[in-house]
Structure 1
Amino acid sequence: MALVTTKEMFQKAFEGKYAIGAFNINNMEIIQGIVDGAKAQNSAVILQCSSGAIKYMRPEYLRHMVLAAVEETGVDVALHLDHGDSFELCKKCIDIGFTSVMFDGSHYDYEENVRLTKLKL
Protein backbone atom coordinates (compact mmCIF):
# COMPACT_ATOMS: atom_id res chain seq x y z
CA MET A 1 0.00 0.00 0.00
CA ALA A 2 1.17 3.51 -0.69
CA LEU A 3 0.54 7.15 -1.39
CA VAL A 4 -1.59 6.97 -4.55
CA THR A 5 -3.31 9.32 -6.98
CA THR A 6 -7.04 9.91 -6.81
CA LYS A 7 -7.26 8.79 -10.45
CA GLU A 8 -5.89 5.37 -9.53
CA MET A 9 -8.05 5.23 -6.40
CA PHE A 10 -11.25 6.25 -8.20
CA GLN A 11 -10.67 3.73 -11.00
CA LYS A 12 -10.46 0.88 -8.48
CA ALA A 13 -13.53 2.19 -6.64
CA PHE A 14 -15.50 2.47 -9.89
CA GLU A 15 -14.59 -1.08 -10.90
CA GLY A 16 -15.33 -2.41 -7.40
CA LYS A 17 -18.52 -0.35 -7.04
CA TYR A 18 -17.58 1.30 -3.77
CA ALA A 19 -17.00 4.83 -2.48
CA ILE A 20 -13.88 6.47 -1.05
CA GLY A 21 -14.09 8.73 1.99
CA ALA A 22 -12.34 12.11 1.95
CA PHE A 23 -11.57 13.70 5.30
CA ASN A 24 -10.07 17.06 6.24
CA ILE A 25 -6.93 16.88 8.36
CA ASN A 26 -5.46 19.47 10.71
CA ASN A 27 -2.96 17.60 12.88
CA MET A 28 -1.26 14.29 13.58
CA GLU A 29 -4.00 12.93 15.82
CA ILE A 30 -6.66 13.47 13.17
CA ILE A 31 -4.46 11.75 10.57
CA GLN A 32 -3.94 8.79 12.92
CA GLY A 33 -7.64 8.43 13.68
CA ILE A 34 -8.73 8.57 10.05
CA VAL A 35 -6.06 6.18 8.77
CA ASP A 36 -6.62 3.75 11.65
CA GLY A 37 -10.34 3.77 10.81
CA ALA A 38 -9.60 3.16 7.14
CA LYS A 39 -7.36 0.24 8.07
CA ALA A 40 -10.06 -1.25 10.30
CA GLN A 41 -12.44 -1.12 7.34
CA ASN A 42 -9.82 -2.33 4.83
CA SER A 43 -10.42 0.86 2.86
CA ALA A 44 -8.40 3.39 0.94
CA VAL A 45 -8.85 7.00 2.02
CA ILE A 46 -8.34 10.57 0.83
CA LEU A 47 -6.70 12.91 3.33
CA GLN A 48 -7.38 16.49 2.34
CA CYS A 49 -6.16 19.75 3.70
CA SER A 50 -7.36 23.32 3.23
CA SER A 51 -4.99 26.18 2.44
CA GLY A 52 -5.35 27.53 5.96
CA ALA A 53 -4.64 24.19 7.61
CA ILE A 54 -1.67 23.51 5.36
CA LYS A 55 -0.15 26.88 6.19
CA TYR A 56 -0.61 26.03 9.88
CA MET A 57 0.92 22.53 9.59
CA ARG A 58 3.42 23.37 6.81
CA PRO A 59 3.40 21.19 3.68
CA GLU A 60 6.61 19.28 4.42
CA TYR A 61 5.55 18.33 7.95
CA LEU A 62 2.14 17.26 6.72
CA ARG A 63 3.60 15.08 3.97
CA HIS A 64 5.89 13.26 6.40
CA MET A 65 3.06 12.65 8.88
CA VAL A 66 0.96 11.15 6.09
CA LEU A 67 3.86 9.01 4.84
CA ALA A 68 4.36 7.72 8.40
CA ALA A 69 0.67 6.81 8.59
CA VAL A 70 0.88 4.96 5.26
CA GLU A 71 4.02 3.11 6.35
CA GLU A 72 2.56 2.11 9.72
CA THR A 73 -0.88 1.00 8.49
CA GLY A 74 -0.39 -0.08 4.89
CA VAL A 75 -3.48 1.89 3.83
CA ASP A 76 -3.65 3.41 0.34
CA VAL A 77 -3.85 7.18 0.87
CA ALA A 78 -4.33 10.05 -1.56
CA LEU A 79 -3.01 13.36 -0.21
CA HIS A 80 -5.15 16.21 -1.54
CA LEU A 81 -4.87 20.00 -1.28
CA ASP A 82 -8.48 21.14 -1.10
CA HIS A 83 -9.32 24.67 -2.27
CA GLY A 84 -5.71 25.75 -2.77
CA ASP A 85 -5.90 29.54 -2.67
CA SER A 86 -2.83 30.30 -4.78
CA PHE A 87 -1.07 28.89 -7.79
CA GLU A 88 2.16 28.90 -5.77
CA LEU A 89 0.69 26.78 -2.97
CA CYS A 90 -0.70 24.26 -5.48
CA LYS A 91 2.71 24.00 -7.17
CA LYS A 92 4.50 23.64 -3.83
CA CYS A 93 2.20 20.80 -2.80
CA ILE A 94 2.70 18.99 -6.12
CA ASP A 95 6.46 19.46 -5.89
CA ILE A 96 6.66 17.84 -2.44
CA GLY A 97 4.48 14.86 -3.33
CA PHE A 98 0.80 15.65 -2.87
CA THR A 99 -1.09 13.31 -5.21
CA SER A 100 -3.95 15.73 -5.92
CA VAL A 101 -4.60 19.47 -5.78
CA MET A 102 -7.66 21.63 -6.37
CA PHE A 103 -7.09 25.29 -7.19
CA ASP A 104 -9.76 27.70 -5.92
CA GLY A 105 -9.50 31.13 -7.49
CA SER A 106 -12.88 32.35 -6.27
CA HIS A 107 -11.24 35.21 -4.34
CA TYR A 108 -9.90 36.67 -7.63
CA ASP A 109 -11.98 38.60 -10.13
CA TYR A 110 -13.53 36.41 -12.82
CA GLU A 111 -10.92 37.04 -15.53
CA GLU A 112 -7.97 36.35 -13.22
CA ASN A 113 -9.68 33.25 -11.83
CA VAL A 114 -10.15 31.86 -15.35
CA ARG A 115 -6.57 32.75 -16.36
CA LEU A 116 -5.03 31.09 -13.31
CA THR A 117 -7.32 28.05 -13.51
CA LYS A 118 -6.19 27.43 -17.10
CA LEU A 119 -2.50 27.41 -16.15
CA LYS A 120 -0.89 24.02 -16.10
CA LEU A 121 1.12 23.13 -13.02
Structure 2
Amino acid sequence: MGAAFDAGGVREAVREYALSLPEAREEFPWGGSVAKVNKKIFVFLGPDEGEGPLRFTLKLTDDDVHADALAVPGAEPAGYGLGKSGWVTVPFGEGIPPLEVLCEWIEDSYRAVAPKRLAAHLDAPRPQ
Protein backbone atom coordinates (compact mmCIF):
# COMPACT_ATOMS: atom_id res chain seq x y z
CA MET A 1 0.00 0.00 0.00
CA GLY A 2 1.29 3.47 -0.86
CA ALA A 3 1.47 6.46 1.42
CA ALA A 4 -1.71 8.43 2.03
CA PHE A 5 -2.24 11.46 -0.20
CA ASP A 6 -1.25 14.67 1.62
CA ALA A 7 -3.74 17.28 0.38
CA GLY A 8 -2.53 19.83 2.94
CA GLY A 9 1.06 19.40 1.82
CA VAL A 10 0.15 19.89 -1.83
CA ARG A 11 -1.93 22.97 -0.94
CA GLU A 12 1.03 24.45 0.98
CA ALA A 13 3.43 23.78 -1.92
CA VAL A 14 1.01 25.48 -4.37
CA ARG A 15 0.62 28.42 -1.95
CA GLU A 16 4.40 28.81 -1.61
CA TYR A 17 4.88 28.75 -5.38
CA ALA A 18 2.11 31.29 -5.98
CA LEU A 19 3.61 33.66 -3.40
CA SER A 20 7.08 33.30 -4.96
CA LEU A 21 5.92 35.00 -8.17
CA PRO A 22 6.90 38.66 -8.71
CA GLU A 23 5.04 41.02 -6.34
CA ALA A 24 2.55 38.32 -5.31
CA ARG A 25 1.03 38.64 -1.86
CA GLU A 26 -1.46 36.73 0.25
CA GLU A 27 -4.72 38.14 1.57
CA PHE A 28 -7.59 36.57 3.49
CA PRO A 29 -10.96 37.81 2.22
CA TRP A 30 -14.11 35.74 2.73
CA GLY A 31 -12.49 33.42 5.29
CA GLY A 32 -9.93 31.92 2.90
CA SER A 33 -6.54 32.58 1.41
CA VAL A 34 -5.97 34.19 -1.99
CA ALA A 35 -2.82 35.11 -3.91
CA LYS A 36 -2.93 38.53 -5.57
CA VAL A 37 -0.77 40.57 -7.87
CA ASN A 38 -1.44 44.27 -8.43
CA LYS A 39 -4.71 44.04 -6.42
CA LYS A 40 -6.03 41.22 -8.64
CA ILE A 41 -6.57 37.65 -7.47
CA PHE A 42 -4.82 35.01 -9.53
CA VAL A 43 -5.52 32.02 -7.30
CA PHE A 44 -8.09 31.29 -4.60
CA LEU A 45 -6.53 28.84 -2.13
CA GLY A 46 -9.60 28.48 0.05
CA PRO A 47 -9.67 27.69 3.76
CA ASP A 48 -6.91 26.03 5.74
CA GLU A 49 -6.96 22.29 6.29
CA GLY A 50 -9.78 21.26 8.63
CA GLU A 51 -11.84 24.36 7.83
CA GLY A 52 -13.46 23.16 4.62
CA PRO A 53 -12.73 21.20 1.47
CA LEU A 54 -9.17 21.68 0.20
CA ARG A 55 -9.29 23.05 -3.32
CA PHE A 56 -7.97 25.91 -5.36
CA THR A 57 -9.43 28.07 -8.11
CA LEU A 58 -7.45 29.72 -10.86
CA LYS A 59 -7.89 31.33 -14.27
CA LEU A 60 -6.63 29.22 -17.17
CA THR A 61 -6.44 30.95 -20.53
CA ASP A 62 -5.07 28.11 -22.68
CA ASP A 63 -7.93 25.89 -23.94
CA ASP A 64 -5.91 22.66 -23.62
CA VAL A 65 -4.73 23.48 -20.10
CA HIS A 66 -8.29 24.45 -19.14
CA ALA A 67 -9.57 21.10 -20.44
CA ASP A 68 -6.80 19.23 -18.56
CA ALA A 69 -7.78 20.97 -15.31
CA LEU A 70 -11.45 20.14 -15.80
CA ALA A 71 -10.46 16.48 -16.33
CA VAL A 72 -9.15 16.22 -12.74
CA PRO A 73 -11.62 14.19 -10.64
CA GLY A 74 -13.99 16.60 -8.90
CA ALA A 75 -12.89 19.69 -10.85
CA GLU A 76 -15.52 22.09 -12.15
CA PRO A 77 -15.95 25.56 -13.61
CA ALA A 78 -15.77 28.11 -10.81
CA GLY A 79 -18.99 29.46 -9.35
CA TYR A 80 -20.30 33.02 -9.25
CA GLY A 81 -20.04 33.27 -13.04
CA LEU A 82 -16.22 33.02 -12.96
CA GLY A 83 -16.30 29.74 -14.91
CA LYS A 84 -17.43 31.65 -18.00
CA SER A 85 -14.14 33.57 -17.87
CA GLY A 86 -11.92 30.49 -17.66
CA TRP A 87 -11.78 30.03 -13.87
CA VAL A 88 -11.62 26.39 -12.72
CA THR A 89 -11.92 24.92 -9.21
CA VAL A 90 -9.69 21.88 -8.65
CA PRO A 91 -9.80 19.79 -5.46
CA PHE A 92 -6.57 18.79 -3.74
CA GLY A 93 -7.22 15.07 -3.86
CA GLU A 94 -6.36 11.77 -5.46
CA GLY A 95 -5.89 12.14 -9.21
CA ILE A 96 -4.53 15.69 -9.05
CA PRO A 97 -1.59 16.23 -11.43
CA PRO A 98 2.00 16.47 -10.14
CA LEU A 99 3.12 19.68 -8.44
CA GLU A 100 5.12 20.70 -11.53
CA VAL A 101 1.88 20.81 -13.56
CA LEU A 102 0.02 22.69 -10.82
CA CYS A 103 2.80 25.30 -10.78
CA GLU A 104 2.46 25.70 -14.55
CA TRP A 105 -1.26 26.33 -14.05
CA ILE A 106 -0.54 28.88 -11.31
CA GLU A 107 1.89 30.65 -13.64
CA ASP A 108 -0.74 30.70 -16.43
CA SER A 109 -3.25 32.27 -14.05
CA TYR A 110 -0.66 34.79 -12.84
CA ARG A 111 0.15 35.81 -16.42
CA ALA A 112 -3.58 36.26 -17.12
CA VAL A 113 -3.98 38.94 -14.43
CA ALA A 114 -0.50 40.40 -13.80
CA PRO A 115 0.71 43.53 -15.56
CA LYS A 116 2.88 42.68 -18.56
CA ARG A 117 5.96 44.21 -16.89
CA LEU A 118 5.67 41.72 -14.01
CA ALA A 119 4.79 38.73 -16.18
CA ALA A 120 7.91 39.48 -18.25
CA HIS A 121 10.03 38.63 -15.18
CA LEU A 122 8.92 35.01 -15.57
CA ASP A 123 10.61 34.84 -18.96
CA ALA A 124 13.94 36.24 -17.73
CA PRO A 125 16.77 33.75 -17.14
CA ARG A 126 16.75 32.45 -13.58
CA PRO A 127 19.90 31.97 -11.51
CA GLN A 128 21.17 28.39 -11.50
- TM class by shorter chain equals under 0.3
TM-score, structure 2 as length reference = 0.26
TM-score, structure 1 as length reference = 0.27
Q: Which structure shows the higher helix fraction?
A: 1
